[in-house]
A and B are shown apart, each in its own frame.
Chain A
Amino acid sequence: MTRSPGEPRRVAYLYLLPGFALFATFVLAPLMHAAWLSLFQWDGITPGTWVGLDNYKAVVSEADLRRAFGHSAVLLAFYAALPIAIGLLLAGAASRARIRGLTALRTVLFLPQVIALAVVAVTWRLIYQPTGWLGNFDLALPAVGLVGTWVAYGLTFVLFMAGVQKVPQSLYDAARVDGAGALREFFAVTLPALRGEIAVALTLTTIAALRNFDLVYLTTSGGPGDATTVPAFEVYQRAFRGGEVGGAAAIGVCLAAVIFVLTVGINRVADRAART
């Protein structure tokens, strides 16, 4: 029997094997192990006790943890929504005017992405020092969030700029001939063209927002009180300080599940929008 050249063949799996082996060893196996640990009450040293789904019940019922997930939701606005809005605004503006030194500008805006987050956190701690925001129960969370905005908007801007540059100039010309103003042009041409980039940006920033640990740990350690605790910070506290490895693993698994569902959702919506 002969095959036509484009038909799938079993040998293709062989090519996937090396990548899959790496993925299985460093992602799947640890994930399974964490899921297994989350079914125990375990201090990390002495034999653990099987508790079934109790750790998961605690994730839902403990007020501290619910608050931590709530803080994450607030941070989503600062880490994902705000940077994308700013990125779109900048890209929209840049699409209308020829900016001199665009490369230099792009580099400057992208810089926060390149700096290690630990450095970012220590620097912003110093910047905030005279304001006292990080010690204010109402302002600490937005203050931490703004650092995330500052880190992320360079990324979204560069992504959107790349997207805008691939839009044929003729579309803009046509819009202008039809008498579209800046706003109309943005919504009719730029925004639809950037759908794919927005999905990518949203995925990346959402993941960054939800797994956020270093910024919180280094700026406020979850304080004042517990005004800035986030799930990933709770994972660290419980596993490495409190000796509740099982509970920490359960939070981690839940967090991974939330991220997974959100990113799949984002991409579904983007795909559907692309087809219509």
Chain B
Amino acid sequence: MRWLALLIVLVLAGCGTPGGSSGDNAKKAQQQEQSSKKIDVAKAGKVTLTVWDQEVRGGQRRQISELNAEFMRRYPNVTIKRVAKSFTDLNTTLKLAVSGDKAPDVVQANQGRPTMGQLVKGGLLRPLDAYEKAYGWADRYPKVLLDLNRFSTDAKTFGSGDLFGISQMGEIVGLFYNRTLVPDPPKTFADLEAALAAAKQKGQVPITFGNLDKWPGIHEFQAVQNRYADPSQVRDFVFAKQGASFDTPENQQAAAKLQEWAKKGYFTPNFNGVGYDPAWAKFGKGAGPFLIGGTWLLRDLTDALGSNLGFMLVPPADAGAPPRALGGESLPFAITSKSKNPDVAAAYIDFLTDPNAAKVLVQTGNLPAMPTDAKPTEPAGVQVFDAWKALGEGDGLVPYLDYSTPDFYDQITAAVQKLMAGREPAKAFTSGLQGDYEKFTGSL
């Protein structure tokens, strides 16, 4: 027993306050900002950049391997050591990796408070504003896309402040439709509802949907939410602006509408028990007229449906109104505070997002976030490109709700499952989530 007591004392003595060594972030950030500059990489000497990314699927993998190889060809003095992880793996291991002694130089840090916010709070990411000016990144993106990668140095404010990363690809969550079943795409939200009712009447599954994985429900809710809530309302909520709330009449209407659709049988039967992948695969086999999905499915769905595949944004209440859609950009590339070669890392990030990169992205079947003249050949691909352009010009991109707080993802996904199963009325849905949200905003 004496030994055990001694051991306990030893272990506790070795602990101290967890995380106690991280210092004053604001000062650190300022120092890093001042030393940032655009350099000639060829003259930087022998450099190894360790990069953690999650570009592991099909076209994503192709573009990053191609661009990495090209960068190393152009600058033979630079070696890129790539560590590829799946999205989930990256998100759960990144914090430990970046706070460790052998931190990678460049990482993909997901937008929002759960990942990027926490890394910024710990002073683990380098502010990129000096690079932004030196390389002119502001010209490459619509403002909202840069704002999504901005935080104040204490991470209390999201959506403004310093820039901590830039992304390669855009993504939109919209309506994929099957041209053989939808010859005349709906122009208004009412048209869409009529089309859903008609499809139901014919015995089709109007919207193919699988929510066993929990997160797809966010997309269904936001698809309907955009019909009622102005993009500024959702952005203010995500960025936790003063007075922002989830418990608004617009959100209640959206929740009630989504519940009504579920009740009327507009979704795949038993959707809470159907996986995401089996669901879109079924749509690819012609299961029904519509699928609410992200542009990351474009490649696979094009392979399945060919020229019968169509893509459109969820139509607005009034025909011809400015487009709105849930969407954003792929995970931003950020530079860690511990990187010994931040200037080379910045040049690398610039290279991944320049006009040449945009061309490579198009060739490999991706949707570049930055403007480009290159265009895909398939009809649905062209529709995606046009929608992206229209959303940029009309400032209609609405960010994912799960960026809002560190655990909003768990809360909203569980709540949408309850809402759509009719276990919780619309009012309880919005007020319950508002309660969770306030717990976080109260701590800011």
Interface of A toward B, CB cutoff 8 Å: 24, 28-29, 32-33, 36-37, 40, 42-48, 50, 125, 128-129, 131-137, 220-226, 237-238, 240-245
Contacts and interface: CB of A to CB of B under 8 A. Distances in A.
A40 B275 contact: no
> Top 7 closest A-B pairs, CB basis?
A135-B273, A135-B272, A132-B270, A45-B122, A132-B273, A242-B407, A225-B418
Interface residues of B, number: 45
Nearest to A43: B118
B11 interface: yes
Which of A45, A48, A225 gathers the greatest number of chain B CB atoms within 10 Å?
A45
Interface in B400-435: 406-407, 409-410, 413-415, 417-418, 421, 423
Contacts of B22: 45-47
B271 interface: yes
Contacts of B410: 222, 237, 241-242
Contacts of B118: 43-45, 243
Contacts of A244: 406-407
B20 A47 contact: yes
A253 B213 CA distance: 28
B95 interface: yes
Given A40-B18, A244-B406, 12 more contacts: A29-B7, A40-B17, A43-B122, A46-B22, A47-B17, A135-B211, A136-B272, A137-B418, A223-B413, A224-B272, A224-B421, A242-B407
Contacts of B78: none
A45 B95 CA distance: 7
B121 A45 contact: yes
Given A29-B11, A129-B278, A224-B418, A243 B406 contact: yes
A50 B17 contact: yes
A132 B211 CA distance: 11
B19 interface: yes
Nearest to A136: B273
A134 B212 contact: yes
B274 interface: yes
B118 to A, nearest CB: 5
A178 B8 CA distance: 59
Given A137-B421, A223-B214, A224-B417, A128 B273 contact: yes
B76 interface: no
B416 to A, nearest CB: 9
B275 A129 contact: yes
Given A32-B11, A225-B418, A48 B212 contact: no
Given A132-B270, A225-B417, A48 B278 contact: no
Nearest to B213: A221
B212 A220 contact: yes
Nearest to B443: A41
A137 B423 contact: yes
B269 interface: yes
Contacts of B99: 44-45
Nearest to A132: B270
Contact of B92 (A36, A48, A136, A241): A241
Contacts of B370: none
Given A33-B11, A43-B118, A46-B121, A135 B274 contact: yes
Contacts of A132: 269-270, 272-274
B19 A225 contact: no
B154 to A, nearest CB: 10
Nearest to A243: B406
A43 B118 CA distance: 8
A28 B10 CA distance: 12
B41 interface: no
Nearest to A239: B92
A234 to B, nearest CB: 10
A241 B211 contact: no
B168 to A, nearest CB: 25
Given A132-B269, A237-B407, A43 B121 contact: yes
Contacts of B119: 45
B114 interface: yes
B18 A241 contact: no
6 contacts: A24-B7, A28-B11, A132-B272, A221-B213, A223-B417, A241-B114
A225 B17 contact: no
A151 B371 CA distance: 54
A248 to B, nearest CB: 12
Contact of B18 (A48, A134, A225, A240): A48
A120 to B, nearest CB: 16
Contacts of B409: 241
